[in-house]
Structure formats: structure tokens, C-alpha cells
Structure 1
Amino acid sequence: MKTFSLSAIALSLLLAACQPQTSQPQTSSSAAEVSPAATQVANEAASSWWQDAVFYQIWPRSFYDTNGDGHGDFNGMTAKLPYLAELGVNALWLTPMFEAPSYHGYDFTEFYQVESDYGTMAEFEAFIKAADAKGMKVILDLVINHISSEHDWFKRSAAGETPYKDYFIWRDDMPKTGSGWGHAWSDNDKPDAVWHYNETRNAYYYAAFGASQPDVNLRHPDVVAEMEKMAKFWLDKGVAGFRLDAVRFAMEGGPLEQADTDETIAYWQSFNQFVKSINPEAYLVGEAWVDIPVAARYYGDGSGLDQGFDFEVGYKILGLLKPDASGEAQFGTMRTNGQSNAQQVADATVLQQNVQQRSDSVAPLSFFAPFLTNHDQERIAYQLAQHDAKAKLAAAMLFSSPGTPYIYYGEEIGLTQGGTGHDVYKRAPMLWDNSQQAGFTAADNSWVEQLELFGADFPNWYPDFLSGQLQAEDRSVTAQQAQPDSIWQLYKLLIAQKKQRPELSTDGSYDVKQLDNGVVQISRELNGSKTLFVLNLTDSAADISAINRDGLSASWAFDLDGNTLAPFGLLLLHSAP
């Protein structure tokens, strides 16, 4: 990677408020440095576009509505491409946008039709072309593990029609309690959690994620062929690849082999081979919500997925900022060796351990994509009680970590949520400005207020939540773009640096040190180029005079007073380009 200077746009608001600090002898304690070897990354991976990407995850229904029906749409995403370009992201992940009966789309009924709530195929194609013109790649959420029980395939299978009768996994009787069947991501023994009765066929079908989402039979050649045909259809539309949902559960091998089977790993290797035959530059990233050593298996000795998410790093970061944070995973399995998440993240060495564990796995460091939260998790701002200083520290820790970062829409403004207990809270509309409906829609009500989508007796929580956010006056994009020290401005700077500074690639070293007063230093270096993140993880002002800042200039230092870093303050320094 070439060395570039930070853009004037990224620094214009920041450098005026920052002055390089007088350096002092360093007195911090040291942890072992992780220096990823260049040979760990395959030659072809080193030149792959996703290695230099910063991804932004969009929940289309909540991003921007242009036709006044309260639902975000394709034209809305097209309209907001200039915003995304200004933020600096260069790759987009769209959660499911195929036709589906649910609001979330993970149970689609059509392989080749877009969600009508979002617009037409022509509008989708126009969005892809407009994104490409902005230099942005677009990947789609592809659900291969299961489809909707309302899909024509399932109806024909239930009716026993050939060849559809074997497109799903059927059995004549319900397994007995104690057989080992149950959710693959928990230690329960509940066969009825995954085996569901169908009256038409008078038999039970396997559905890991609930009765409305039956698992397809990926041992059937027709099913395999159709999934490949579907992938080709969308690749031909110009998408750059896919985020693969629930990769761990593709092929079950029995009650004690419901996840991460050898057949599953082999299936994704075969699928990757097919995708690359259509477009050698196509990208596959897998949702393997599991510990790093297991997630790394999906690399498949270089013939499997291009990347997989690092689900652990977000828990580590959250734990440092909120020690009582829960490490429980949804739709995944995260082992903690009998310790609580709070015990695991007692000090910042967990960040070093996280990167070391990735480096020590069977996959290269470049395989892992770090993130804070996604659509299945409580928003980071909610878990941090909208503590903006902590949100900035979380962002800094994310972007200091090696790998391809993912941002969940709204994280860049500290978007929070109105409650817990239902996934809709995590997926509410974007706050663009302080007008009615926060500029998301011209309609009187957004889609989250269409209560028929969520079942009987679901409360209308959104008006009070929205009112509170608007009254705060600093929670929207417009408000934060006007503030030089906002969360949004920090994300913009971090994204620019991630793309422009070579030491922030996976080739750069990663070293975490912690002072006795709780201040943490994260340094990244490569060929003499250096970035230093200085974070105060305490609620007290901290002396940082012991930190060596020779030859480094500050690009973020709003929380610095001389050699004192404010409570939960952040200092970001870098060497000359």
C-alpha cells in the first residue's frame, strides 16, 4: 500500500484545535507486540479490494424514505450516497432486500425479486450504478440456510411433489427429549425448538430459526444449483458479493452436529469456487457467530470465505467501557471459559489477546472483519447510555484494530434505541435532522409505528423515543456535522486515516500498553509510519506526560488540557506522512 497524507477535509476542523504535545519519557507497562508477517496473507488477498474497504451496514427500511410511505427505499439510498461519500465509506452491506412476508426479510419468498416496499428492480439497478459511480461496492445479505415457509418450494414440498419433497429436511416423528436436538447456539435440549409439525405432510421439518423459516436441504443437487443460480443473478446485476447469513448451520449432521460441520465448511468452499467463476473479484463474508478458532475454519485453507466477522472484539471493547456488559450471543455460540464478560475485559490487554488469537488461528489476520454491533445486537450507544465520550473511545478501538471494519448505520452519530425485547428497537429509522420524523420520511408515521408488522399488543414506543431524541438537538446527522468534536466528525477522521495510513492495514504492528492510571496506548506501525491512540478509560482526568510523543502530531485532541487527558478522553496522534 502506498503512503498518503491525511486529506485537508478530514483535518480542517480538527488540527486548528490541536497542538502537538511536549514529549516525555515513556513509563508504561508493555504487552507483547503482534507483528503480523506479510507471508501470512496470501498474495491474492493482499490486492483484494475488501482489504482496503470500510463497510457501512444499511437496514434499507430505516435509511431514507423518498415516496412518503414510511419505509426506506432504493431511491432513498441513492439520494444519500453523497452523505456516505462525505463520511468516507467505500463499501455498503444491505440487509435483505428480496421479497419477503416479514419486515426484516430473512425469510424471503422470492429469489429474483426485490422487496416491493423498497421499490422496483429498475430502481435497485439505478442504485447499484450510482454507488459504483461514487466508488462504492455493494454487497447483499444472502440467506442460503433457510427460506420462508410461504415460499412456493416449501408448499410443494409439504404436498409431497417431486422433486420438491426433498428440498427440505423432513422426519416422521418428533425426536424425544434427551436426544440432543435443540438450538445449535445454546446448551438446551428442546427438540421442538427446531423440529416443527406440518399438517399437510403429517411430518416434522427442520427449521433452526423458527417454524416460519425452514432450512433447505443443501445435500440436494437441485437446491445447490438454485442457490448458485441466485448468486449469479445478483452478481450479474452488478453487486460486489454477499454477506452470508448463518453460515454455521448450512448442513446438519445429527443432534450433536448442528453447527460447523465438515460438510458445512466444504459447502462454502464449493459455493466460493462457483462465485469466483462468475466474478473473480466477488467477495464473500460469513456470519459465523462463534469463537475465533471456530470462525477461522471458514477460511477453508484459502478456498473458503474471503472474510468472517470477528464477533469477539465488540464484546471486548464494550466490556472495557461498561464492565457489567453481557457477553451473551444471539444466534451464535461464544465461549468464555466459565468467566463472565466483565471478568474477561478487566483491562485493555484483552484487545491484544483478541488480535493475537486472530493471528494464531488457522486463518490469516486479514480474514477477520471487526465491528462494534450489528442489527442483531443492542446498539452500542444504548449500551453506553448515550455517553458520547465513551462512544468515541469505542470507535477509536474499532478502527485501531486490524482488519476490514464494519459500521452499523447510525453508529457514526451515536444512534440509540428506545428499549429492548424486540429486534425492531435495534433497527429504527436514521435521524437525519431535527424536523418531523427526523428527516427520515415525509409521512406522519414511519414504518416502526405500523404496529401490525410486530404482532398483537405491541406498544407504540417510537413517538416518545423520537421526541426525546429531537429535543436533545444534537443527535442528528445535521447537528453533528456542525460540531467539530462530534462522534460523526471522529468517524469521518478515523475512516480517512484507515484508508490512507499504511500502518492501519493488517501489515501494521499492533501494540497495546496500559499505564497504572488506566490510560491505554494502542500503537500501529509500519515502515516508520506510526499512529498512536491514547485513551482514558477512567472517569477521572489522567496525566499522560509519560507518553512519548516525539515526532507525532495530533489529529484529535479536543479532550486534552496540556498533559492531562479528560475523563474518557481521546488523543489521536500520527507521524508525518
Structure 2
Amino acid sequence: MTAQSPAQHAPGADAATTPWWRDAVVYQVYPRSFADADGDGMGDLPGITAHLPHLRDLGVDALWLSPFFTSPQRDGGYDVADYCDVDPRFGSLADADELIASAHAMGLKVIVDIVPNHSSSEHELFQQALAAGPGSPERDMYVFADGRGEHGELPPNNWTSIFHGEAWTRITEADGTPGQWYLHIFDTSQPDWNWQNPRVHALFRDVLRFWLDRGADGFRVDVAHGMVKPEGLPDAAVNAEGLLDIPEGEVPIYFDNDGVLEIYREWRPILDSYEGERMMVLEAWIPEHRLPLYIGPEEAHQSFNFGFLQATWGVETMRAAIEKPLALADAVGAPTTWVLSNHDVIRHATRYGFPPGYRFGEGLGRAETPDAALGLARARAATLLMLSLPGAAYLYQGEELGLPEVAEIPDALREDPAHLRAGVPGRDGCRVPLPWRADAPAYGFSPTGESWLPQPEEFGALAADAQEGVPGSTLEMYRAAIALRREHGLGRPDAPVEFLEDLPEGLLGLVRGEVVVLVNTSEQELPLPAGPDGLDLADAEVLVGSAEPVPGRLPADAAVWLRRR
């Protein structure tokens, strides 16, 4: 028996007329940690260009570049000082042009990260705002407010920063007196733009056109739910401990305000005016029921489905994380996106190495020890499940090598603002530079052996060249699955996802056309069940599996794609 989830648009869509982004496999590149060409220990644009054949051979359709703009790097480049230039650490505009041209020559699209909620405090316009004084047009580019209290000594409201502590910092005016406060939902070095100001809108329209003119195929929008703040900057509700009272599944008061939707309606015609199906995908951590408001023919093309990333290992949780976003996206005719790792979360090869109910903090602490083999086994299985689903799939650099989260980073080398402000481990553990060659200095990341974060010894065995051509390696499994996904049209939403019912406990099964996908989430090997229409899946052809196949059976914590004979 099978149960269907809704199709995402009309069946029978012609692949030749389907926009590329609807079913693309997109590979996220974190430039600091991908490949270092000049030997300074930090990744750069020429390093990315030199390794584009890796992405081509992996079979992805596009690469998404995390910020490479001019920046003091207080938050890994998400503190932008100039949106229309390249930070010298990463290269030059000429290097960006060469990267885009080389990617296009290999058939790869290029998505550029855009950071519209805040800039760096070193941005020229913020420096002008500091110098110009209260009430000036320059200061109105950012969110400044007078303080409360008798002498303005208290913050304008009780908002707190995502990176811990107050969300406001008081400045000293040019005459040396205590002055206004500026808002920074993130680090103190990341002042929030004032999106009530038309000049801010005009600035970002120009930024979009700048990169579209240089050949960018789309944008990933950072903190896409955050630009517009509630009118009057009211206090947030607090709980008994005095912390912001945010109900489960909701977001802080300064996120997900309806005004952000108007920004995307303003941007969409700009993208539509360029040839080549330019697109934007939103990083919007919002309640799922709000997602359809952000995507559609007049808004953004896609928004990340973080519910799938957050789903714990198990049939019910993983099935729900598939069915609900499919239904929500279907309501607005947009494709779903799927993601398991990115530069902000603990790598899924490590997350799955803990019990399903484990509560993670911000990053992985040194005392937290996962079952590495179990984590990788489940990560490989979850990846096969993800790549079988309709819509776009987003990969994070290094997951195709099975890289784990790195906990053993000296505190003195950690750069995440959350670590510097609150002492939590932070996100550096998923940003450790990639291993390319097992026997090279810095595992081939840098020609000098320099690396801005230390790489653990286990990276050697996981290096790209150590997995190249090795049957059953994680790299070869990714290559095979991506190729099969394209061959069988699994990313296209023509056919609905059909879930198999009445399966043994712990077994998740779904049908995509002629492909049957099975995931064993239990701790024991299970026999292959009867398939749809009573077909015996024990006789089906194995297309790809996450574990060594056993005739007629599926190992624990493993997944397989079968083709019915």
C-alpha cells in the first residue's frame, strides 16, 4: 500500500522548460575553508576556481559562494564593508569574474550570498553615520535610537543579540558626549540597516544589479526574515528569568515582520529582467506556516527547508519533515529545498552520532563524543533520502567526504562571535578547511601547509584523493546518487512522493517513479519488504546504497535505492 504526498506542480512538466533551480543540486562553498591558492592559510577565489573540476565531477548544478566581499572578518565575512568588491584575502574582482566564467564554462551556475540585514561597522556608510550626528540623513541609514533612562543611559528596548548580550551599543558622539544607541541583532560589529529608509532599498537594488551584471545566476539571502523591525521598536515579552519569551516554533519580535515580503516583491522584477532564470533562495528561520508567504511568482523562488535538517533519526520524524514542506510548497507552486548541513550547524555526520533525543548546544563541546561510525552511516543514509526527493538539494562543502564536526579547536583560534561573546563552542567546528590530498601539508588545502583552523588527523583518511575511485566511499556514493538522481528525474516534481505503508517497524519507504527508496532507521538488519503492487523488492535492482548490500536485506542505519524489474 502507498500513500501519496501532493505533487508540487502539474504532472508532465517538460524538463526542457523547467527552470534550472527547481531541481538543482547546489554545493555551498565557504571560501575561507575550501582551498587556499596563495599559501596564506585562508581559502580564496583562485583556490575555488582551481577546484571547480571537483564540483563538476561530483555532478552538482550550481555552487553557492558564502560572502567573499571586503570585510574585517569579525563574523566570517557576514560583516560586509563593501558589497561590490572582493576582500583582498580572497582575491580581486578579476578573480571573481574568472571564477564565474570558469564555472559557467563547466556548466555550473553561481549563486552569490547577499547580506541585507546588517553591514560591517567598518562600512563607509556606517562611519559616515557615526560622524554625522543624530537626525542626519547619514544616521538614518541604520537603526539608531535614543536611550531610555534619565540620561539615555539605558538601551532603547530589551532586545537581545543572537550572539548573546544586548542587541544595542551606545556610541560616543563626535563632541565626546554619550550619544545614541545602534541596533545589532548579531555582533556589535554588525549594525542593522534601516529598511524604512528608501536609500537602503536603492543601495541593495544596485548591489543586486552589480552581481547580476557580472554573471551571478542568483542570490542566497542571509537572515532573510530579519530586515524590517516592528514599528516603534517595542519591548519583547520576557519570561520569569528575564529572558526573551519566545514560544516554541516562533521567532523573536524583530524577525518575520511582514515588511520583509515587500522587499522580495521589489527584488523579484530585477531578477526576472535578466536572461537565464536568475533566482534567489532565502535563509529564513521562520515558522513553517509562514513559509508560503515568502515564496511565489512575485516573491522569492525558494526558501530553505530547515525542518528536514532539524528532524531527528526515525521514521515518524523524517516522514513528517518531508510531507509537511511538500504540502506547504505545493500551496504556492514552488519547489521544496532540502538541506542537511551548512556553515551554521553541526555537521550531520556528527549530529546523527548522538541519540535522537540529544539536545545540542551552540556548536560541539570537547566533552561531547559522538559515535563517529554510527553518525557517518546515518548521514550517508539520510543523504540518499534527501537526494531522492523532489525539489532542490543543497550540499555543504565536505559532506561529500563524510567530514565530521571538529571539537578539538583551541579556544584562542576560534573566531565565531558567539564563542567570543558567550564562551560557547560556536560554529567554527563545521568550518575547518577541507582535506584534498591525504599525504600533503594541510591535506592539500594550502601549498604552504598553513590553515586558519587546525585540521584533525582523521581528515587524512577522508581526503578527496583517498576516496577517489574507491567503491563504497562517501565521495563515490555522492557521485553515483547525484548522477542517478538526474538520470531518473528524482528532483523533478512531476511525480508525487508515495510513501509505502505497513512496513516493518523502523523502515521508511517511498516511491519516486520507478525508484523505490528504503531507509532502515532501526538497530537491526531488516528484510526487504514487498513493494508497491505486491512486487518483491528482494528481486529489485540495487541502484545505490549507503552500506554494503546484503541480498534481500537492508542493514541497520542504511538506505538503498531500488529499481523495480
TM-score range, shorter chain: 0.7 to 0.9
User: TM-score, normalized by length of structure 2?
Assistant: 0.81
Distance 1:197 1:235 in 2: 37
Deviations 1:405-425 (Å, cap 9, x if unpaired)? 000000011111221712221
2:511 touches 2:517 (CA, 8 Å); kept in 1? yes
Q: CA deviation at 1:519?
A: 2.3
1:158 — aligned with what? 130
2:495 — aligned with what? 508
Aligned runs of 1:396-545 on 2, under 5 Å?
396-419=384-407, 421-435=425-439, 436-448=441-453, 462=454, 465-470=455-460, 473=461, 475-513=462-500, 515-525=503-513, 530-545=514-529
1:35 touches 1:507 (CA, 8 Å); kept in 2? no
**Does residue 574 of structure 1 match 2:563?**
yes
Deviations 1:6-31 (Å, cap 9, x if unpaired)? xxxxxxxxxxxxxxxxxxxxxxxx56
- Identify if the C-alpha distance between structure 1 residues 42 and 401 changes in structure 2 by more than 3 Å, giving closer, same or farther: closer
Distance 2:475 2:15 in 1: 34
2:292 — aligned with what? 296
1:353 — aligned with what? 320
1:193 — aligned with what? 166
Structure 1, gaps ≥5 residues long: 1-29, 321-346, 449-461
Q: CA deviation at 1:91?
A: 0.2
2:33 touches 2:434 (CA, 8 Å); kept in 1? yes
Deviations 1:155-213 (Å, cap 9, x if unpaired)? 11122265312101111114899997424879xxx9x6222211126101111112110
2:90 — aligned with what? 118
2:211 — aligned with what? 234
1:391 touches 1:487 (CA, 8 Å); kept in 2? no
- Identify if the C-alpha distance between structure 1 residues 166 and 484 changes in structure 2 by more than 3 Å, giving closer, same or farther: same
1:288 touches 1:309 (CA, 8 Å); kept in 2? yes
1:327 — aligned with what? none
- Identify if the C-alpha distance between structure 1 residues 488 and 262 changes in structure 2 by more than 3 Å, giving closer, same or farther: same
Distance 1:43 1:288 in 2: 30
Q: CA deviation at 1:556?
A: 2.2
1:331 — aligned with what? none
Question: How many residues are treated as equivalent by the alignment?
Answer: 492
Q: Quick one: which amino acid aligns to residue 33 of structure 1?
A: Q
- Identify if the C-alpha distance between structure 1 residues 217 and 45 changes in structure 2 by more than 3 Å, giving closer, same or farther: farther
**Does residue 315 of structure 1 match 2:325?**
no
Match of 2:9 among 28, 38, 58: 38
1:235 touches 1:279 (CA, 8 Å); kept in 2? no
**Does residue 172 of structure 1 match 2:146?**
yes
- Identify if the C-alpha distance between structure 1 residues 179 and 164 changes in structure 2 by more than 3 Å, giving closer, same or farther: closer
Distance 1:88 1:237 in 2: 24
User: TM-score, normalized by length of structure 1?
Assistant: 0.79
SS in 1 for 2:4: coil
Distance 1:258 1:69 in 2: 39
Distance 1:507 1:281 in 2: 20
Deviations 1:537-561 (Å, cap 9, x if unpaired)? 1222222254434684211255332
1:251 touches 1:263 (CA, 8 Å); kept in 2? yes
Distance 2:16 2:194 in 1: 32
Deviates more, 1:288-297 or 1:254-263: 254-263
Q: Quick one: which amino acid aligns to residue 537 of structure 1?
A: T
2:13 touches 2:494 (CA, 8 Å); kept in 1? no
Distance 1:198 1:245 in 2: 26
Distance 1:422 1:59 in 2: 16
Distance 2:515 2:467 in 1: 25
- Identify if the C-alpha distance between structure 1 residues 296 and 43 changes in structure 2 by more than 3 Å, giving closer, same or farther: farther
Distance 2:267 2:524 in 1: 52
SS in 2 for 1:228: helix
Q: CA deviation at 1:500?
A: 2.4
1:174 touches 1:195 (CA, 8 Å); kept in 2? no
- Identify if the C-alpha distance between structure 1 residues 305 and 174 changes in structure 2 by more than 3 Å, giving closer, same or farther: farther
SS in 2 for 1:116: coil
Q: CA deviation at 1:277?
A: 2.8
Deviates more, 1:481-490 or 1:408-417: 481-490
Match of 2:542 among 536, 550, 554: 554
Match of 1:209 among 186, 192, 195: 186
SS in 1 for 2:561: strand
- Identify if the C-alpha distance between structure 1 residues 381 and 160 changes in structure 2 by more than 3 Å, giving closer, same or farther: same
Q: CA deviation at 1:41?
A: 11
Bigger fraction of residues in helix: 1
Q: Quick one: which amino acid aligns to residue 328 of structure 2?
A: S
2:6 touches 2:327 (CA, 8 Å); kept in 1? no
1:305 — aligned with what? 300
Distance 2:471 2:99 in 1: 31
Aligned runs of 1:207-286 on 2, under 5 Å?
207-253=184-230, 254-255=233-234, 257-279=253-275, 281-286=277-282
- Identify if the C-alpha distance between structure 1 residues 399 and 312 changes in structure 2 by more than 3 Å, giving closer, same or farther: same
SS in 1 for 2:291: helix
Q: Quick one: which amino acid aligns to residue 528 of structure 2?
A: I
- Identify if the C-alpha distance between structure 1 residues 156 and 536 changes in structure 2 by more than 3 Å, giving closer, same or farther: same
Deviations 1:308-333 (Å, cap 9, x if unpaired)? 000001122xx11xxxxxxxxxxxxx
Q: Which has the higher contact order (CA 8 A, sep 6+)?
A: 1
Distance 2:321 2:11 in 1: 17
Q: CA deviation at 1:230?
A: 1.1
- Identify if the C-alpha distance between structure 1 residues 261 and 381 changes in structure 2 by more than 3 Å, giving closer, same or farther: same
1:41 touches 1:365 (CA, 8 Å); kept in 2? no
1:377 — aligned with what? 345
Distance 2:479 2:13 in 1: 30
Q: CA deviation at 1:218?
A: 1.4
Distance 2:529 2:324 in 1: 32
Structure 2, gaps ≥5 residues long: 237-252, 354-370, 408-423
SS in 2 for 1:196: strand
- Identify if the C-alpha distance between structure 1 residues 422 and 262 changes in structure 2 by more than 3 Å, giving closer, same or farther: closer
Distance 2:219 2:263 in 1: 15
1:412 touches 1:488 (CA, 8 Å); kept in 2? yes
Distance 1:52 1:211 in 2: 38
Match of 1:51 among 19, 22, 25: 22
Distance 1:185 1:196 in 2: 14
2:57 — aligned with what? 86
SS in 1 for 2:54: helix
